[in-house]
Structure 1
Amino acid sequence: MTAVLERLDVPMVKSRRHAAAPRSDRRPWTFYALATVFTLYVAALYGPMICIYILSFQDVRGGLVFPMKGHSLHWFVDLFTQVRTGDVKGSFDRSIKLAVLVTVITLVVSFMAGLAFRRRFFGDMFVFYLMIGSLVAPGLVLGIGIGLLFQWLGINASWYTSALGAQLSWTLPFGVLVMFAVMSRFDSAWQEAARDLGASRWQTIRLVVIPILAPGLVAVALFGFTLSYDEFARSLQTAGSLNTLPLEIWSMTLNVTSPSLYALGTVTTIVSFVAIGVSIGAIVLINRRRGTGPASH
């Protein structure tokens, strides 16, 4: 009996000694090595952009390099008032209108494609690969092809014709893929319950499907807007004589040698962050109204 107790007591003694032993809170060297690599990565990624933002707030004596000379909003005012900096206001207006139009079309077509592909049909794989095939082709080559196609059809190249078609070839595949991911988590039992209660097909889509998929639809809209707003390669040969904002920035790099170019980069970044912030705010608001957001827990 004594031998058995001694055997049972040995693990308990060892565990007590182990618990009483001092613990070392020092991190391994691999943590510091990886942290250094990550810090260098972030600095290389955001450092140039931060430099541009800082230099855009110089006064009239400012140049294109450091050291910074004073601080003011002079170059932001110069950006929209001086003709010598280019057609910034017009190109910005065209880019916003084009992005909104692309967003609406991408959202509607992606939503319809998500509904259609919930069931298998003849040729579904061919249609799917046809939709995402434009992701494989180089953007510049695809833009040239679309420009030639519209020219052959007798349609003048402009931001609302050929440029719209070129940008949709870029935004639609992303919108469809995102919508497929959203639809994969949708339970068809909700639709069946709505129909059992007497709802028509349109009422089911409007009152059940769209509210449930609302966060995913916001994500598709965000993809469409940001991809269109920043698109350059597919717009280069299809925008016609009137530039979009990315094309205007590219043309300004050839003849503008003032911080107004940096100010334009700051403005475009602010617009992008505003779009992202509005989208995230809409998703948070939708989740809170459903009672699934952080505020409800």
Structure 2
Amino acid sequence: MEKAGFGKWVLGAFFVLFVLFLYGPTLTILILSFQGPEGGLTFPMRGVSLVWFRRLFETQAVGDFGGSLTRSLLLAFLVMMATVVVSLAAGLAFRRRFAGSGALFYLTVASLIVPSILVSLGIGILFNQLGLDTAWYSSGLGAQLTWTLPFGLLIMFAIFNRFDASWEEAARDLGATSWQTFSHVVLPIILPSVVGVALFGFTLSYDEFARTLLTAGVDNTLPLEVFGMTTNITTPVLYALGTLSTALSFAVIGLALGAVAVLQRRRARRLSG
């Protein structure tokens, strides 16, 4: 019993250290973003205030916070929509074997093991060879989809592998068309998972750096803008930006989890009713 108790304490301490390792830098940035007007980039803190958050919305000598944030949000939304549509369509298609399905699957998943910077370089060179300008909404979108689509596809595979096809058969026996079966039977059941795919697509795109580095063109997304500012801005305004962007990420996650909870409650009511 004593050995078991000691082992639990050791595992608990290891878990705490692991959490501190993961979230310690984020907590440090969060704390330092609330420094006073004379504050710097390191400890000790010089006062406590919201001055750096106010200055974040003022005109900066270098950098474009507002423009880069807007581009990142728009790009994340486009990636989210494309990931949901393509992953859902692929999940439905792969429920049955077809010619080339194996090769197509491995080709899709292979982008996860290719170094991100090489994907970015390859897409940038391709656009250059085609005489097209790289931009965050074209080449940047394509580069990020090579990152989000495999995750969405794997989630859809997991969902449809345990999907009970007898529900669809029952709907067809009652005279439902293929579209009615999908919209009234299949989609409501898998909708929480679709929300999860959307969350994956949005969050993976919002903070993606490597695959956007050589494909965003002349207009930076927020991660690229922050990276460029690290050599120019020497005030906690950069920390304030990190705190707000992290808060936005948690807000998106909270909305997604809330949507899943609402969908599950509605499904439970329908089943009980």
Amino acid at match of 1:260: V
Residue of structure 2 equivalent to 1:7: none
Is 1:40 matched with 2:17?
yes
Q: Aligned-pair distance for 1:286?
A: 0.6
Is 1:98 matched with 2:78?
no
Is 1:145 matched with 2:122?
yes
Structure 1 runs of 4+ with >6 Å offset? none
Q: Which of 180, 191, 215 is the aligned partner of 1:238?
A: 215
Asked if the contact 1:85/1:260 (under 8 Å) is kept, the reply is no
Task: Point out where structure 2 has 5 or more consecutive residues left out of the alignment.
Answer: none
| Cα distance in 1, alignment partners of residues 61 and 227 from structure 2 | 15
Moved more, 200-209 or 257-266: 200-209
Residue of structure 1 equivalent to 2:107: 130
| Cα distance in 2, alignment partners of residues 139 and 201 from structure 1 | 39
Residue of structure 1 equivalent to 2:166: 189
Residue of structure 2 equivalent to 1:215: 192
| Higher RCO structure (Cα 8 Å, ≥6 apart) | 2
C-alpha RMSD of the superposition: 1.7
CA deviations 1:246-275 (Å, max 9, x no partner) are 000100111110001111110111111011
Q: Which of 162, 166, 177 is the aligned partner of 2:139?
A: 162
Residue of structure 1 equivalent to 2:6: 29
Larger C-alpha radius of gyration, 1 or 2? 1
CA deviations 1:13-45 (Å, max 9, x no partner) are xxxxxxxxxxx7896322222222222222222
Normalised by the length of structure 2, the TM-score is 0.95
| Cα distance in 2, alignment partners of residues 216 and 129 from structure 1 | 22
Asked if the contact 1:236/1:247 (under 8 Å) is kept, the reply is yes
Amino acid at match of 1:83: Q
Task: Point out where structure 1 has 5 or more consecutive residues left out of the alignment.
Answer: 1-23
Aligned residue-pair number = 271
Normalised by the length of structure 1, the TM-score is 0.88
Residue of structure 2 equivalent to 1:12: none
Is 1:63 matched with 2:40?
yes
In the superposition, relative to structure 1, how do residues 288 and 25 fare at CA in structure 2: closer, same or farther (>3 Å)? farther
Is 1:52 matched with 2:29?
yes
Identity rate of aligned residues, in percent?
A: 55
| Cα distance in 2, alignment partners of residues 274 and 107 from structure 1 | 20
Amino acid at match of 1:191: E
Asked if the contact 1:79/1:85 (under 8 Å) is kept, the reply is no
